Amino acid sequence: MMSSIYSSFTWKRNINAKRLFTLAVIISTLAVLFFVKVFQSTIVNVAWNDIHDGHPSSNSVTTDWDNLLDSTTLTGAQIMQYLKWSNRPSCQLVNDFGGTMRTNPSGWDGQKSVCLDPEVAPIPDQCLVYSFGIKNEWSFDEQMSAYGCQVYAFDPSMAGQDHYDHNPGNVHFFKWGLGERDQHDADYNWTIRSLSSIYEELSGRQFHGRRIIDYLKIDVEFDEWIALPEIITSGMLSNVRQLAMEVHMDFEASLDQHRQWAKLLRSIETMGMIRFDSEYNPWYVGSFVQIPLEGPLGYEIAWYNGNLSHVNTNNNKR
């Protein structure tokens, strides 16, 4: 009898222990799942806020570009790393406009990245585009026109008529080059003007006014390094919503010269221009003379102005 009672007690104790163990496992699993969910939600929210509040992506968190570019041990490879940094998560929807198909290697050359996130996207029938550097290749300008923008195109090197409207009619061409000041280039017989001077003159035109430049394209074969400081000091950068620029490296220039160019680009990022794309030019590569380095000599880089998102005033600053 005692043996039967003992066996029954032991069996019940084992059953209770198993139930308690199972319950503990269930509770532990639920707790783990809860904390994982909270952690994932936090990470997603942080990432989303970083993207839409204009904070740098994880790429820049792990790389302190300012200290890197100031470092006494800076290398050419590190400068190239900075130029190649795309920071692509900063824009959720990137579309390429323009470009021509090339071979060896096969691909599209001259495309310009446009961020179409609602906070910074050009608004059709309200947008203003400046395009410097045409070379009789109108694909970007025509596509931005088809998108619904008024496009002002500039190139002093093109033969033919000055100040005319290119088909389909809302592309307006001027034989002006982009530089640090208004001047006449006697060597090429070109008219060179600063961005601020051009903007002031064109602001009186219909459909232009004193609008924000929704997209500024600069492809001017090394003269970007001359024009960009004036764009900064004149305050025109604060009037640009998106900027796309082909930047050129000089295979004969020193490491310090390339450092200064990289720091100039970095300066606009510290002023609020948020990089969202960078693509190297595979048809423009070479060996650097003063730097033990071989690689791309040109990069297509695009930014949007974090200070101009979610703005809405009467002068078209949305």
Of 182 and 309, the structure prediction assigns the larger pLDDT to: 182
pLDDT in tens, 193-249: 999 999 999 999 988 999 999 999 999 999 999 999 999 999 999 999 999 999 999
User: Distance (Å, rounded) from C-alpha 2 to C-alpha 157?
Assistant: 110
Dihedral sign (CA 13, 19, 23, 29): positive
Six token digits for residue 301: 């880089």
Do strands 273-280 and 298-305 pair parallel, antiparallel, or not at all (unpaired)?
A: antiparallel
Of 48 and 78, the structure prediction assigns the larger pLDDT to: 78
**pLDDT score of 168:** 75
Q: Give the mean pLDDT of 294-312.
A: 87
Q: How confident is the model at residue 156 (pLDDT cuts 50, 70, 90)?
A: very high
Containing 224, the helix (H) or strand (E) segment is helix 224-233
Six token digits for residue 138: 């109108």
Q: Give the mean pLDDT of 273-284.
A: 96
Six token digits for residue 243: 């900027």
Question: What single string gives the DSSP state of each residue in 180-218?
Answer: SS-EEETTTTEEEE-HHHHHHHHTTSTTTTT--BSEEEE
Please name the residue that has the structure tokens 């088909």: 167
Query: What is the DSSP secondary structure assignment for residue 123, as one 8-state letter?
Result: P
Q: How confident is the model at residue 254 (pLDDT cuts 50, 70, 90)?
A: very high
Q: Could you give phi then psi for residue 254, rounded to 5 degrees?
A: -80, 170
User: Distance (Å, rounded) from C-alpha 164 to C-alpha 209?
Assistant: 19
Q: Could you give phi then psi for residue 97, rounded to 5 degrees?
A: -115, 140
User: Distance (Å, rounded) from C-alpha 280 to C-alpha 246?
Assistant: 9
In DSSP terms, which residues pair with 295 in a beta bridge? Answer: 286
Listed residue (108, 95, 184, 179) closest to 144, CA to CA:
95
Listed in sequence order, the residues at least 6 apart from 30 whose beta carbon sits closer than 8 Å to its beta carbon are none
Q: How confident is the model at residue 18 (pLDDT cuts 50, 70, 90)?
A: low
Six token digits for residue 283: 């048809």
Q: Are 302 and 113 in contact (CB under 8 A)?
A: yes
**pLDDT score of 16:** 57
Sort residue 252 into left (φ over 0), alpha (ψ -120 to 50) or beta.
alpha
Mean pLDDT, the chain, rounded, equals 84
Sheet strands (E) in the chain: 94-97, 100-102, 107-109, 112-115, 128-132, 150-154, 164-166, 171-174, 176-178, 183-185, 190-193, 215-218, 242-248, 273-280, 285-287, 294-296, 298-305
Q: How confident is the model at residue 28 (pLDDT cuts 50, 70, 90)?
A: low
- From 98-107, 160-169, 176-185, 305-314, the region with the lowest mean pLDDT: 305-314
63-305 maps to CATH 3.40.50: yes
| Chain-centroid distance, C-alpha 299 | 12
Do strands 215-218 and 128-132 pair parallel, antiparallel, or not at all (unpaired)?
A: parallel
Sheet strands (E) in 10-98: 94-97
